[in-house]
Amino acid sequence: MFVHDQYKLYQMAHTFINEHNYKMLQVDYEKDVLWLEKYKHNVSHVIRLSLTGFDWKNHLKQDMLHSLQQIDVNQRLITGKVVEFYNIYVSSHAPVDHWTNLQQPISVNRRKKTTMYMFYFDRENFFDEYHRFYELTGIEMDWIYDIPSESYAEQFILAYKNKLRYLKRAEKERAREIFSYGKPRLTYLLIALNVVIFFIVELTGGSMDIEHLIDFGAKYNPYIVDGQWWRIISSMFLHIGFFHIFMNMLALYYLGHAVERIFGTLRLFIIYMLAGIGGGLASFAFTIQVSAGASGAIFGLFGALLFFGTIHKQLFLQTMGRNLLFIVGINIVFGFVVPQIDNSAHLGGLIGGFIAAAIVHLPKQKQLLKQLLAFIIYIVMASFLVGFGMNEHSNSSFYELHKVDELLATEQYDMAIEISTEQIKLNNELLPQYLFQRGYAYIRIGELYLAIDDLEQCISLTDDIPEAYYNLALLYYEIEQFALAEEMITKAVELEPDNPMFQDTYDEIIVD
C-alpha cells in the first residue's frame, strides 16, 4: 500500500505543476519530499509534499515547525514577502492521539509573513482532507476517485520522477542560457576607455582641476545652454580623482558583466549610452554644478537589471534581485545625504537605463509595440529634461555670471557692468561674485573708487574670493593707502599661500 501513497503524492505534484503552473523549488527523491511555488499578485503560494507519517501528535507538530523554519532558511528561493504555505503530508496512517487541532492555520511574521495550512492525507481521512484543501485553494484532483493498480502506480512514479528530473535540468539550462547570452567584451573596452581618458586628463593638468575638466568636456550648464550638447556624452567618460574612477570602474566591471551576459554586447552599448545621456540631461536640468563621471550610465545598468526582473521575476529574485534592490536603495539614499553627489544623474540614469532596456528588450523576446512605446517615452523624457533645463538655466543668475565672464574676457566692460548691476539688484546667492566681476570691470575702465566700493562689499560677504583682497591691495596701493594695501595683500596670501602672484605682490608692498 506504500506505493499507492507514493502515487498520490506524485499525482498531486503532477496536478500542481501541469495544471496550476507551480514551479519546483526543491526535490528530495530519497525521502519523497517536494517543495513547489507559484508567485501571483506579490504572494508566494508554497506547497510542501511529504511522504511521511507520524505516530504521535508531538512528532507531527515538530515537523510542522521545522517546515516553517525552512521557509526562512530557503527565503532566497521563495519569491514573495508574503507566503501562503500548504504543508501536505501523505501517509497510510494518522497519529494515534488527538491531532486535528493542528489543522488550524499558523501565522508567523519573521523574515517573511507566512501563514501555514496543514493537511494530513492519511487513508482514513483522505477525502475529508481533500475537500478541506479544495475549499481553501479551489484546486481539483479528480484522479483521487480512480486509484490504479500497484503495478501501474509504480510505472507512473518512476516516469514522473524522471520527468521532474528533466524539468529541473531544463530549468537550470534555461537559466544558464539567460545568463550567458553575451560575452563581456564591451565592458572591458569601456573600462579601458575611461581609464585612458582619466590618465590623459590627470597628466595634462589634473582631474581635480574644474577648469581643466570643463576644457575636456565636463558637464557645464552655461556652455550647454550655448549649444555644446556634446558635453552630455563627453562628461560620461571623465572622472574627478582616483577614488571616483576606481569606484565607478569597479561597479562597471560587475554590472557590465551581468548586463552584457544577459543582453549581449550591442544591447549593452545602447543601454549604456542612453542611460548616460538620460543621466546627463537630468543633471543639466536639476543641478548647476560642474559634473563628470560614468555614474549615470552605471545606474542605467542597474535599471537594465531591474527591467530584466520584470520579465523573469522569480529568477531575478532568486538570484541577484534582493541584493540589487538593496544596493540601489542604499546608493539613492546616500546620494540624497551627501551633497557632493549628483543624485539627479543617478536617478536619470536609472530611469533611462530601465527604459533603454525596454527599448532593446531581452534577446529572442521581441515585443515591437512595447519597444516602440518605450522609445517614445524616452524621447518625451529627454525632451522634457532639455526644455526644463533650458528654461531654468538660460535666464539663471549662474548663466548670467558665465556671460559676464565671457564679456570680461573679450573686454566688453560696459556690457559686463550693465549685466552685473542688474544681477546685484536681485541680491541673490551669487552677489559676491557679481560684485567682484563688476569691480574688476571698473578697474579696467579706470573707475578705481567704484571698484573699491564693490570689492569692499564683496569681502564683507565672503572670504572665498582671494582675488578680491588682491585687487583691493593693488587699488589701495595705487591711491597711496599703504596700510590698507598691506592688510589686503596679507589676507590674500593667508587665503592662498601658494599663489606666486600674490606672494610677489606681497613682497613688493611689504618691502616698500
Annotate 60-77 with DSSP letters as a single string. Answer: HHHHHHHHHHHHHHTTTT
Per-residue confidence (pLDDT) for residue 330, from 0 to 100: 67
Q: Hunting for cell 569606484 — which residue is that?
A: 247
Q: What value does the mean pLDDT take over residues 298-304?
A: 91
For residue 480, the Cα-to-chain-centroid distance in whole angstroms is: 61
Residue 350 has pLDDT above 80, yes or no: yes
- Phi/psi for 39 (5° steps) reads -100, 120
Enzyme catalytic residues: 295, 346
Contact 475, 448 (CB under 8 A): yes
- Would you identify the CATH topology of the domain 397-511? 1.25.40
β-pair type (106-109, 82-90):
unpaired
pLDDT score for 85? 92
Model confidence pLDDT, tens digit, residues 5-49: 999 999 999 999 989 989 888 888 888 899 999 988 888 899 999
Read off the pLDDT of each residue in 135-158 and give the average, rounded to a whole number: 87
pLDDT at 146 over 70: yes
pLDDT of residue 338 exceeding 70, the answer is: no
Model pLDDT, residue 61: 92
**pLDDT 10s digits, 231-244:** 999 999 999 889 88
**In this predicted model, which residue has the larger pLDDT, 78 or 346?**
346
CA distances from 76 to 71, 230, 315, 320, 350 (A): 9, 44, 10, 10, 25
Rounded distance between C-alpha atoms, residue 304 and residue 255, angstroms: 10
Q: Are 52 and 91 in contact (CB under 8 A)?
A: yes
- CATH number of this structure's domain 185-392: 1.20.1540.10
pLDDT for residue 457 is more than 60: yes
Are 73 and 92 spatial neighbours (Cβ–Cβ below 8 Å)?
no
Confidence of residue 328 (pLDDT cuts 50, 70, 90): low
pLDDT for 499 equals 87
| Confidence tier at 477 by pLDDT (50, 70, 90) | confident
Cβ atoms 17, 24 nearer than 8 A: yes
pLDDT at position 320 over 70: no
CA dist., res. 177 & res. 171, Å (int): 10
Contacts of 486 (CB under 8 A, 6+ apart): 473, 509, 510
Between 321 and 278, residue with greater pLDDT? 278
Q: Residue 375: is its pLDDT beyond 70?
A: yes
Mean pLDDT calculated for residue range 274-291: 91
CA atoms within 13 A on the CB side of 140: 3
Q: What is the mean pLDDT of residues 60-74?
A: 87
| Whole-number pLDDT of residue 365 | 82
Lowest mean pLDDT among 128-142, 310-324, 361-375, 477-491: 310-324
- For 118, the enclosing helix (H) or strand (E) is strand 113-121
Identity at 315, one-letter amino acid code: L
Global pTM exceeds 0.75: no
- Predicted confidence (pLDDT) at residue 310 exceeds the cutoff of 90: no
- DSSP run (H or E) holding 251: helix 242-263
Mean pLDDT of 149-165: 88
Decide the pairing of beta strands 33-40 and 43-50: antiparallel
Q: Do the two domains 185-392 and 397-511 of this chain adopt the same fold?
A: no
Q: What is the mean pLDDT of residues 60-66?
A: 91
Residue 210: which H helix or E strand, with range? helix 210-216
Instruction: Give dist(CA 499, CA 205) in Å, integer.
Output: 16
333 pLDDT band, cuts 50/70/90, is low
Question: HSE on the CB side for 184, CA within 13 Å?
Answer: 15
Backbone angles phi, psi at 364, to 5 degrees: 65, 20
Q: Where residue 407 falls among pLDDT bands split at 50, 70, 90?
A: confident
pLDDT for 182: 85
Distance (Å, rounded) from C-alpha 33 to C-alpha 9? 9
Pairing assessment for the beta strands 106-109 and 113-121 based on DSSP bridges? antiparallel
What are the residue boundaries of the structural domains of the chain, listed by start? 2-178, 185-392, 397-511
pLDDT of residue 482: 84
Judge residue 457's burial from the number of C-beta atoms within 10 Å of its C-beta, 0-12 exposed, 13-18 middle, 19 or more buried. Answer: middle
pLDDT of residue 321: 57
Q: Mean of the per-residue pLDDT values for the chain?
A: 87
